[in-house]
Amino acid sequence: MRRRLAIGTGAAAAVLAAGGGVAVLTWPSDPVPVALPESIASAPAAAGAKAAAATAEPTGVRIDRVPLTALGRKFTLPQRDTQRFSMVSVSWKSPADKPDGTVQVRTRDAGSGAWTGWKSLEVAEEAADLKGERAASRGAMEPLWTGPSNGVAARLVGSGTKPLPAELRLALIDPDAPEAGGRGGGEPVPAVPPASEAPPATTAPTQAATTKAGTTAPTPPMITKPVPEAATTTVPPTVPKPPLPAYVSRAKWGADESLVKAPPTIAKEGVKMVWVHHTGTEDNPVTCAEVPKFVKAIMANDIREKGLDDIGYNYLVDKCGTLYEGRKGGVTAAVVGAHVAGFNTGSTGVALIGDYTTERPANAALTTIAKLAASRLGAYGFDPTSTADMTAGVTGLKWPLGSTVTFPRIAGHSDGTETECPGAAFYPLMGQLRARAALPGLAITSVSGGEPTTGTYYVHDKGQVHFTVGGDGSKISRFDLLVDSKVVATAPGNTTAGSAPFTVTPGSHNAAVRVVHTTGATDITPVTKIIGDVMKPTFPIAPTVALRAGTYSDTAVPVAVSFKAADNNGKISRQRAVSPKDVPMLGTSTLWNATVKPNVAVAYSVRASDMAYNEGASVTTRTIVQMPENQAKRTGSWQTRSASTYLGGRASAGRDKNAKLAYTFNGRAAALTFTRTPATGQAIVLVDGVKVATVDTKGPATAHRQTIWVKALTAKTHTVSVVVVGTPGRPTVISDGLTYVK
């Protein structure tokens, strides 16, 4: 709420009609929006309830004050030790007065002991318009959130030619004070304690780990689900009222109700419009975990330093999207706040915590503000995209007393007074808030043209974006599809769901859907990433055939085929073996098993598809060769056995120790087949003269053509030998040949 920019710079223009005393506020149409940055788009709306935190036990707010008026026209307050505080504020008696120059402060971090640089405070504009509250208001600077601090210095720079305002004072506000009810009953207290009484520089309050000096995780505040508001006579019975978002109540964020100076005032006309603010908290951003303490400090400053009856805002929202109850009186009542002097009655005010002069608000926060606005305006039958006629209730400000001004139902603070609030980066989003309040829940539901997925979508070059939105479809003029911030397709309105086609080049693209209300207000989805992909998957490892153990025959040999597919985007969606048999596989598969006929060439073929439906293939041709035992070189005594149960109708049996069969072949894998019985014994296996295994051919029953030794080899000529061990009591080994991959 800082007074930096005059009306007219990025804000609205106002003209008084001659003789009528009526002003009509107009606002610029929204520019073609740029798709939201991914960092904003990814901000989770549900994070607020998890990230926000309150102190473990109720605490009060202590305010230590330092009188400044007596320091001279150009004062300097040397840096000094203080009790702990987290907010600095400067105020004076009359809002019509202000210091001649710029007030600057610097503070010392309670955790690290480091001093900040000098920070300038901005003059806060007048906010109250209720007669009693306005009469009690003081002039003030916008407060500065420092986080836990225990040292301060201040100075006045600039002109300094005029006397300082009466009752000029610096306030150090601690929202973690152990005593409730404030300190001093609203009267000044001793300026600061002497250094000997100041807390040590290493002392830090307990707070969330995300805060500057915190060490422990706090307890999140309870989120209150509001009771549905009773219907008013202005709402047609057939029109559903949007619900108020869940919120953190005053009790849960720790409001000190003893500070409140007057009961709430309820506007008879209800809520005709919503004023949008930012708190202007800069330099030391308020984390979501610190928000309950921040709101407590704002309340204390509004009442004790600015002289308001209660906290000025009706609601506050943090960057995580959590809604906080503000001024007392009921979240669904038309409570008159103190945030836009002259136009508080018949309106409600919501402040986004933070400074949005250069930083764009998070999407989660915008959504919460839009939901709040839709609920408060809907309760009285007002369309968020329409306008409201408001009568200026204060003289001496931007609008003459009694003049009627036409505002947007959802307006920025700068529409109503000379301020830059809600910030140069926030104000252009007012149209987006109006559209989002009227047409909630705009979202891209899916992108077709590639494998179904969420998050990032892949297409070859063409696809279709599908989207939905809530609200009244008859109020939708059209939908625009933006790819890389350019409109590439338009879909007709008068509906709450649709789709639009697109074409993209290879690479990463940002897509967003914009809905255009019949009034011209627009909302836009967070970006959805779309990858254009025209490259086929490759096979760094082509199909490689290995023999498997098991039962072999003259017509069937079990094999294992390994492979490795890869994609330029690292996303293989599915695979399929197409030869020697069709076998569907997952995108992560690297192996499939098959049974093939020996002694004939067989093609082993696999295909892989990526997320964009690009398909790559790889094929390897191999021959599985069976060598009968009569092709082995024999050493020692071997007997030939004939039966149809053997491979090729024959096998060789040896029982003498060191009797050997040597199979020589040119291949890349080998397997030895035996007949197993309860009486057969062990054999040593040599590869190229080197012992690699000892196999035991004993089995529980007689079984022929049993392959019990397999090995992958380098593709070249090898000799695999079977050597009889001569096992006591069962020396016989029955070799039924060797199988290899040619």
The pLDDT tens digits for 96-151 are 999 999 999 999 999 999 999 999 999 998 899 999 999 999 999 999 999 999 99
For 511, the token pair is 């897509």
Q: What is the pLDDT of residue 226?
A: 53
Question: Strand 660-676 vs strand 733-741: parallel, antiparallel, or unpaired?
Answer: antiparallel
Query: Residue 618 contacts by C-beta under 8 Å, 6 or more apart in sequence?
Result: 539, 542, 543, 563, 565, 605, 606
Q: What is the pLDDT of residue 222?
A: 53
Q: What is the pLDDT of residue 570?
A: 87
Read off φ and ψ for residue 285, nearest 5 degrees. -60, 145
Q: What is the pLDDT of residue 19?
A: 31
Which candidate, 352, 359, 261, places its Cα nearest to that of 40? 359
Question: With left for phi above 0 and alpha for psi between -120 and 50, is residue 14 left, alpha or beta?
Answer: beta
Torsion of the alpha carbons at 336, 338, 344 and 350, rounded to the nearest 10: -90
Q: What is the pLDDT of residue 72?
A: 79
Amino acid 413 reads: H
The Cα–Cα gap between 375 and 431 comes to: 17
Q: What is the pLDDT of residue 69?
A: 84
The Cβ of residue 257 has, within 10 Å, a number of other Cβ atoms equal to: 12
Contact between residue 281 and residue 298 where contact means Cβ atoms under 8 Å apart: no
Q: What is the pLDDT of residue 586?
A: 95
Domains observed in the chain: 60-197 (2.60.120), 219-396+408-417 (3.40.80.10), 443-532 (2.60.40.10), 538-625 (2.60.40.10), 628-741 (2.60.120.260)
Helix %, strand %, coil % of the chain (to 5): 10, 40, 45
Which residue ranges in the chain fall short of pLDDT 50?
Answer: 1-58, 180-220, 227-237
